[in-house]
Amino acid sequence: MPKETFFRLPKEKQERLLEAARIEFSRVPLQDAAIANIVKLADVSRGSFYQYFDDKEDLYYYYFDVLRLASKRDYEVLLREEQGDLFKATRRYFRRWSEEAICGPNAAFYKNLFLYLDYQGTSRVSPEIARDDSLVKLREQRVTKHKEKMVQLMEMIDTSKLKLTTDKDLIILIRILTSMMFGSINHAYKQETRGEKVDLEELKEEFDTKLGWLQYGVHQNKVGGNE
């Protein structure tokens, strides 16, 4: 997380630093990014940069958290609009987010994140699943926040139409949906790296199909038939 001095900066200067982060981390993966480029783009001195962030990784993961928070808010808005219908909200959310991830201003950032994130990076993005002792404090903080967010999200979901008996079941379902979304986007990025053109509408339709399978099942029950 940024140091307190960053949050005391004028809003305009904070936005310059975040825009510089977007540009540099979209240009190359984290490991190849240069602080020299970031400070030049943001029009700040290198010394000032270290007053705001410990290192480039600190800025990178903060920028990712900014995007993640905005994405979470979008999903919650859709859940409210769909009166807690998890599948309708997820379908609409993926249609929006897939466009952002493939064609939006952060598309290259997301692509570098998905394709080049190593174990250490995954541990920073999701410290709740990490085993690195150096991330114990961050993991504990993230686990607490994750639980709080999950409780908030679960309270918004209408479970009356779901065949779930416990909160744990709902958490598993949300994880499956999240994995499906990430998997679809990651597949599209790999297509691009192979020089293939991504058909965005086809990507959305394929996700809708998988979502339908999860929602309604694929097993066809035949009256009088053998199981």
The predicted structure's pLDDT at residue 74: 95
Report the C-alpha gap between 192 and 195 in whole angstroms: 5
pTM of the model: 0.82
Which tens digits make up the pLDDT trace of 170-212?
Answer: 988 988 998 999 999 999 999 999 999 999 999 999 999 999 9
Residue ranges, the chain, pLDDT below 50: 127-131, 135, 139, 143
Report the C-alpha gap between 24 and 18 in whole angstroms: 10
